[in-house]
Amino acid sequence: MSKYSLFLLRHGEGAWNKENRFCSWVDQKLSEDGVKEAQDCGRLLKELGYKFDLVFTSILSRSIQTAWLVLEAMGQEWVPVVKSWRLNERHYGSLIGLNRAEMALQHGEEKVKLWRRSYDIAPPPIDESHPYFLEIYNDRRYTTCDVPKENLPRAESLKEVLDRLLPYWDSTVVPEIRKGRTVLIAAHGNSCRALLKHLEGISDEDIASVTLPTGIPVLLELDENLKPVKPRQLLGDQVKIQAAIKKVEDQGKAKPTT
């Protein structure tokens, strides 16, 4: 029997999602379509009668902006929003800024799929010669983390995302859920996938086929031990959701040259 409701949300489309580039820890705002996705998500949740008590986001603008737009559309702007780097997107290392389809053309679709979707394979790490290194590590937001800046990741597998996310989940998010509060986690494709893997007990192999489209809320109904009592529900028009999932999966495919 369901005791708690938890909502996961991958942020609306970002500017680099639109360009099919690995965005990761580079701070990007939502695209025009991403703003609309977040607003539509909020309107849907309001129509379905949901009310949030607390929202958790990463410290990246596209995640925070999504949370704000959702709450505004729901008429719940007053709901507290708590931010942590531990909900950040997976760190894609030296791949940051590169186009996924071009990488698939150069390295093969399977290699790109491994970098994007595998559980325990990390991409090559970022170093100081990378064009976005200073933009990330000189950003003041990373002086606010609960680890020294020099200990922040330089690249991550999905396993490493889960490793840095779980302590925050256990210490900060779980106590709020156990108080009976309805929580929204507005984060990123990979931080949400990592959490789904943990909650649903998804195998290392099967997590590669779990795709979360942007701006689609995921409802998890949990028992007293925070285990799902039914399959996750992607809320909204199911035909549109399947089309959005295919769009995400196609991002890693090589486009034929003309």
Please state, in angstroms and rounded to a whole number, the distance separating the CA atoms of residues 191 and 156: 11
Tell me what pLDDT residue 258 has. 43
pLDDT per residue as tens digits for the range 57-71: 999 999 999 999 999
Contact 71, 77 (CB under 8 A): yes
Mean pLDDT of the 109-124 span: 84
The CA radius of gyration of the chain, in Å to the nearest whole number, is 18
Catalytic residues: 11, 89
Binding site feature residues for substrate: 10-17, 62, 89-92, 116-117, 189-190
Mean pLDDT of the 53-58 span: 98
DSSP annotation string for 158-185: HHHHHHHHHHHIIIIIHHHHHTT--EEE
Ranking 18-27, 63-72, 81-90, 162-171 by mean pLDDT, the lowest is 18-27
pLDDT per residue as tens digits for the range 221-233: 999 999 999 999 9
Does residue 257 carry a pLDDT above 50?
no
- Length of the chain in residues, anyone? 258
Binding site feature residues: 10-17, 62, 89-92, 116-117, 189-190
pLDDT per residue as tens digits for the range 126-170: 999 999 999 999 999 999 999 999 999 999 999 999 999 999 999
Residue 64 or 19, more confident: 64
Cα dihedral sign for 229, 169, 15, 96?
negative
